[in-house]
Structure 1
Amino acid sequence: MSSWHTILQDASYKGVGFEVMALDESNGKALVEHARAFTQGVELEDMGTSGRQVQVSAVFYGKQYSSRLLRLLEALEEPGAGVLVHPVWGRLNNMLAASWSYRHDAENVDYATIDVTFREAAEAQKIFVFENHFLMALERLIARIDAYRMAAVGMIDALLAMRQGCSALWGSALGLWSTLRGVFAAVRQLLQADARQYPDHAAGVYRSENFAADAAAVFADLERMCRAGIAATAAVQADGVAQADSRSVRLRFDAALDLVDALSELPRQVLAGSNTALRLQRITYAQSQAVAQMLRLCTLSSLISVGQILIETYGEEMTAPELMYINRVLRQRVQREIDALRQSLAAARAVSAAEADRLYPLVHQCSETLRECAGQVNELVRAAINRKPPLIVRPSPLSGTVHQLAFALYGDIGRAPELVRLNPHITHPSFIRQGVLINGYAR
């Protein structure tokens, strides 16, 4: 679909791109007929549209066409609706792959066509509406994190895209491959990850025809290694369950934050040669910047997940300042990454209009999901604060220990640690004077 006067967008589904040969679209009304005796015709009740239906004929050709076809097939088989980027109409939300068929022809070498029928799905309405605002905000945030991870994968694939072993933005595939391997080794060294679980990829001779598959495999292991390392630093298990830890929630979150910052510095260190990580050849600043952006995209999702798990597990124990601190840090990180994505798009426009057109929908999708993640984090923190009782200040009714004070105020000595957290001005919890102003919940 080239040579059009209208600027067409690159077609994709759930972040997986493909080239379009033809599009057939249809829509209609959902009508209910009410027939009455002795009347001409029937009364038609308009129940809305039946939903858009798009039939796409796509083509895959060239070297490694089969791997690109398999990626689309995997996206089609994934449960649930997704975003279909229409070449003319742009983003179509909630499009579900209803059916598809693909074929190969012996006369056309390295060539396959696929026909897919997409149907527009209405957003599911919950049967039961829960009044717990915190749980609803938590569920929405988890869904947004998953959506961002999918968008980040699509953005990373675009950054790794090479044509004939070269990219207009990053230079040679060999240089980008060297940077990626060097950063992988540096990350493994920093996290002290098991080399048997995360082995060095393609330690032998480099082959340009294997770049796409090898780079995807390296980055998949890199993302998995970073996610496990960040979670372990905050004492969070791989299944999303927070472990018991002697540190406070803020210290655990700050530890994960420091690790994310250390990981983000590794591409610069590899470029400068100050890190002993593996490197095949001399690399450029642009290539290190590309890998650094890919690394930030995956570590940011892990950091948001850690914050979500800590708030979910310890939200009732955390004070409002602690909750607002996590909210502020995550929103600042999200804004910083959105600015970096916009800068990448501006750099692409300065180099090549074609590269900018290819990156634009992916940058937009990634930025939008990040913005929605920040909004849902803010909503989760607000819900966590609102479910706490009102905070009041009152004089201590006695002189004694913080446990005696907790029993006097609430009839529960188990709330003594809560009073310690809410009153950092108390330097000696075992010696509290009567009349000292105490912060505490109203009930």
Structure 2
Amino acid sequence: MSTTTWRDSLLPASFRGIPFVIEQTSVPAGQRGQLHEFVQRDEPFYEQLGKQAQVHKLTAYVIGADCFERRDKLLEALEAPGPGELVHPWLGRMSVKVGPCEVSHDRREGGMARFELELYPDLPRKFPSARANTRQQTVKASSGLLDSALGRYSAAMSKVDAARINLIGLRNSVSGAFAAVQQHFAPLASMFNGLSGFVLDIVGAPDSLRGLFGSYLGSFGGGLFSLFSSRGGSSGSSHRASSVSSYGDSSISNYRGPLSDASQHVESIRAIDTVPQVSGADTGAAAQATANLVQDAVLVQVSQLVADLPVAPKVEPVATAPALAQQLVQPIERPEVPVADDVLQLRDELDAAIWQASLKADHAHYQALTEVRHAVGAHLTAVAASGVRLVDVTPAQSLPALVLAYQRFGDATRAGEVVQRNRIRHPGFVPPLPLKLAQE
């Protein structure tokens, strides 16, 4: 029975395909650093500064009757610019660059040329790369939209003759806009004393109305997620439960609430895009200007909500899933990531809503809306890229959600995700029908 020895594992040495013989070799290891010795102190301090550079020092030979010819080929390979492949007998194949070398001859060593080689590892250069801060771009675009919206409202109301406004017609026309104010700007709605007070402010104090929206939205400036968290989320809890992959189990979700709230904002933006026709040019102009202001305010708020959606960190897959009994005692803790399909759906819906709003805008406001549309789309694309996609999975038989989650993800605690995403009636009986599950 043959036994493989260490000699059988050695590789024939060569550089750029030119063979040679190696007698000895060395390479630094460990950490480089600086030894600090202080006056009147017996204990020195060694500061580690990183790994040693792996400089390969080899003593190589070319031997034989044709040693001069082989020597010249090796010299040509060593003097050629750029990296080359070194076959190291002990360390294997690697790409190296040639440093200072020395070739020597000795009459007593006839038929041999000696090389002292110094080779450096050829590592790819790592240059700093710039990446767009989509969050800051969205915040900046929403601020520009707010300024443009307030200016557009002031310009429109300056052309309205308040004495010619039909209060009943105005009330009927702005009822939808006031409903959006009640839904998304509850602190402001409480200051108007109902729809009638809102109408009186439009007619008698349009600058005050403009200032209220400007102060309210300007005070948050992209920090609406903290406001959302403090009030415990929005009313869309059923949609919220399916907008995230349950890698984590925190009480305040990074994605569920904001995605649900943003979807409700999109519905409001569509609902108040236009107002019902009323008699009187001044009444119609005041109603449309107010609806435009509220619509723009909702757009500013939803863009600030979108800006606060974080790009999820990369989640490393679990190499070995703990046993089910162990997970029941100590659940797996993973960072929460968004479901990319939900984020992309919100991006497309918001893009369509902003585009529809921009069709009735003048040139300056159209530009502000376009900047918001591009910024929001870019940020939601970045958020979706950090999430997980949904795939169709059909169980072979009816299983409890706990078992299905363990088989699919190796994490039984994600049973709630399976139930909520697919609206399973009973978690103990998941039917053998096509299901939407996270890809990982």
If the length of structure 1 is used for normalisation, what is the TM-score? 0.45
Greater Cα radius of gyration, structure 1 or 2? 2
